Amino acid sequence: MELAKYIDHTLLKPFSTGEQVKTLCREAIEYGFASVCVYPPYVAICKNILSEQNIAVCTVVGFPFGANMTSVKAFETELAINEGADEIDVVMNIGAFKEKNFEYVINDIKKVKNICGKHILKVIIETAYLDDGEKVGACSICRDAGADFVKTSTGFAPSGATVADVKLLKKTAGDSLKIKAAGGIKTRAFAEELIAAGADRLGTSSSITIVKS
């Protein structure tokens, strides 16, 4: 298994700097990761470094809580794509979902997907705050809204990816959605378990440790 090709090499600490982002890009080139995942202000830096590489530039929208207005998420997405983002990881409006305002949630995601167009959209449902029935429902909404991936976690919640959640999402999504596992992925063994359970992509800041172990 070429594990690096599953990994979004991630730097989403609140105190991330431009120099750290440049290092992240150089590491992505060295190890052959699928993408780098950074905050929106660093997209242009990454695109400049990676423009000749087969490595995507991923950024986050409505991060980390998903409670932004839809118009803000849409504008943030547009700006990121104009800066060179290839992939968008947007956080679902968890509060609206919990109060069963499903029409709002699906329209929120659709607006972002419409702006993404051919660019990949991953929707973070933050599984730590959902029961199994809600995870299934959130996954179904992502599918119906036209997302490309459903993603487990931001890494800012009390817990992150689990094998059980990946299996549940995979069972729900079938072939209509890909699965990104994120949050707390620190070892090669766990990464391989998640892939075996159905994950198509992994988001982690422990990428180098994982591939070198």
Host domain of residue 204: 3-212
What pLDDT score does 181 carry?
98
Number of domains in the chain: 1
| CA–CA dist 91, 66 (Å, integer) | 4
What pLDDT score does 97 carry?
98
What pLDDT score does 15 carry?
97
- Which residues are identified as catalytic? 89, 151, 180
What pLDDT score does 202 carry?
98
Question: What sign does the dihedral 20-83-89-105 (CA atoms) show?
Answer: positive
Consecutive 10-residue runs of the chain (213 residues): their mean pLDDT?
A: 94 97 98 98 98 97 98 98 98 98 98 98 98 98 98 97 98 96 98 98 98 95
| CA–CA dist 159, 42 (Å, integer) | 26
User: CATH number of the domain that 39 lies in?
Assistant: 3.20.20.70
